[in-house]
């Protein structure tokens, strides 16, 4: 799996094929198929490996569901930061359902049920939270190799210059402020900003709807 993951990290998931993997691993392709059924199976195994290796072994106290959820969300975000291709594998209407993937969902749903959500609500809340994380992670996905190598950073810089030349930057204070910071740092800042509001909303709704009182729902960490 290490060779496949290295390929995906360096070239993007679109470039990973059974043939290329066999070539990089120094194996005849037919031998590779003895261990991996097809490309879909390969991607599932890669996701399992990354999730299991990255998973935190400890999370904050069970008395603070907000801190627990924040920790788990930040873990998932960090995985996408390190392995942008992982989003393509997990953000699907037919995601892999291996032990590591299910354990990742289990941990979030477990915190939510302890916070007073019933199992169905907990799963819906998980989907909302995961949808936010994966939506933000779209900004860090490695582009296809034929996309002029236009990364988020280069796009951000080029767009800022274009808006500045046309005068549209100066006309909008919010855009001027947003353009003056490092784009990579901004992604983490934006993610944390949204995550705080997301958790505030989820836990406040639970309290408002008659669930158990939840500590730590005040704004800020």
Of 218, 216, 211, the closest CA to residue 113 belongs to 211
Q: Provide the pLDDT for residue 208.
A: 57
Across 124-147, average pLDDT: 81
pLDDT at residue 214 greater than cutoff 60? no
Q: Provide the pLDDT for residue 204.
A: 86
pLDDT single digits (tens) 31-89: 888 888 888 999 999 999 999 998 876 677 778 899 999 999 999 999 999 999 999 99
pLDDT at residue 221 greater than cutoff 60? no
pLDDT at residue 217 greater than cutoff 80? no
Domain ranges, ordered by start, for the chain: 2-142+181-208, 148-180
* Model confidence, pTM: 0.78
pLDDT single digits (tens) 169-201: 778 887 777 767 666 667 888 899 999 999 999
Do residues 211 and 60 touch, judged by C-beta distance below 8 A? no
Token digits of residue 44: 């599932």
Residue with tokens 């935190």: 56
Of 184, 211, 33, 24, the closest CA to residue 112 belongs to 211
For the domain spanning 2-142+181-208, the CATH number is: 1.10.357.10
């Amino acid at each position: 799996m290490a060779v496949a993951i290295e390929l995906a990290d360096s070239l993007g998931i679109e470039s990973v094929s059974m043939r290329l993997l066999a070539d990089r691993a120094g194996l005849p392709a037919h031998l590779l198929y003895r261990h991996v059924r097809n490309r879909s199976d390969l991607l599932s195994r890669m996701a399992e490996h990354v999730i299991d290796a990255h998973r935190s072994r400890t999370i904050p106290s069970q008395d603070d569901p907000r801190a627990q959820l924040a920790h788990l969300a930040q873990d998932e975000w960090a995985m996408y930061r390190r392995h942008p291709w992982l989003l393509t594998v997990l953000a699907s209407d037919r995601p892999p359902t291996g032990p590591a993937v299910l354990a990742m969902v289990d941990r979030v749903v477990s915190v939510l049920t302890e916070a007073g959500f019933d199992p169905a609500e907990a799963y819906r809340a998980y989907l909302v939270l995961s949808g936010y994380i994966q939506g933000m992670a779209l900004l860090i996905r490695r582009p296809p190799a034929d996309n002029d190598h236009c990364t988020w950073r280069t796009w951000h810089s080029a767009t800022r210059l274009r808006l500045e030349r046309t005068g549209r930057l100066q006309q909008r204070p919010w855009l001027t402020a947003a353009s003056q910071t490092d784009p990579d740092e901004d992604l983490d800042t934006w993610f944390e900003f949204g995550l705080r509001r997301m958790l505030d909303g989820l836990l406040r709704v639970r309290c408002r709807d008659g669930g158990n009182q939840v500590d730590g729902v005040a704004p800020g960490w």
